[in-house]
A and B are shown apart, each in its own frame.
Chain A
């Protein structure tokens, strides 16, 4: 079990630039989530995929944000025209659809991608 992996772990970008984060979920998990966490706060939900379908998006996900999961495996989160307010840690998580096991419906997180917009 390699866990949820995210890349890059840290990104510093100038305001107005585009950035893209990648997430590789746990291999047997068909559900994938993106969260955002700012300093001193709990993570906030951004969006959710089941396989390749994006089933839910938060109001926090402005038009500058787009997420994809083209083959139902890895996912990317792109932020266009970054603003200083986008500085945060972007967390990816995954879970299994199987709910009959103890691990079912448990969401596992990656280590996060830190974004600093200067």
Chain B
């Protein structure tokens, strides 16, 4: 079945450091890929998405590129801020055009310190 694997956290960085959170997936066909962010005590917010190979999703300084050859969708940010501290979830929908459910990774907690 479909699955998403994320690097374990917590990831602790100093402010202005470079961030990478690894995400790999297993799915048949051409899934759509997503990053969601969850701040403490809140629901999930869509951060960015990509729907086909080599697409780059970007938002709020975060980027992720859909790499079909490595089945990866790593999240990156050039300079993190304390306000980026949250849990980040990588997720997929099997293929665009269906109402298929999201499959999530277990999440990676990011802690940014001054």
Tell me if A21 counts as interface (CB < 8 A to partner B). Answer: no
Task: Name the CB-closest residue of A to B96.
Answer: A105
Pair A43/B97 contact, Cβ less than 8 Å: no
Is the beta-carbon distance between B42 and A112 smaller than 8 angstroms? yes
B34 neighbours in A (Cβ, 8 Å): 106
**A99 near B96: Cβ-Cβ < 8 Å:** yes
- Check if A105 sits within 8 Å of B93, measured CB to CB: yes
A75 CB → nearest B CB, Å: 15
Say if the beta carbon of A42 comes within 8 Å of chain B: yes
Residues from chain A with a CB closer than 8 A to the CB of B32 are 105
Q: Is the CB of B99 within 8 A of A50?
A: yes
Category for how many chain B residues contact A: 20 to 34
Residues of B within 8 A of A97 (CB): 99
Contact flag A111-B101 (CB < 8 Å), given A42-B106, A105-B93, A105-B96: no
User: A95 near B42 (CB under 8 angstroms)?
Assistant: no
The answer to whether A111 touches B106, judged by C-beta atoms less than 8 angstroms apart, is no
- Interchain CA distance A109-B104 in the complex, whole Å: 13
A89 CA / B105 CA spacing, docked (Å): 17
Interface residues of B (CB under 8 A from A): 4, 32, 34, 36, 42-46, 49, 51, 89, 91, 93, 96-99, 101-107
Give the 4 A-B residue pairs with the shortest CB-CB distance, closest first: A42-B104, A111-B43, A45-B101, A109-B44
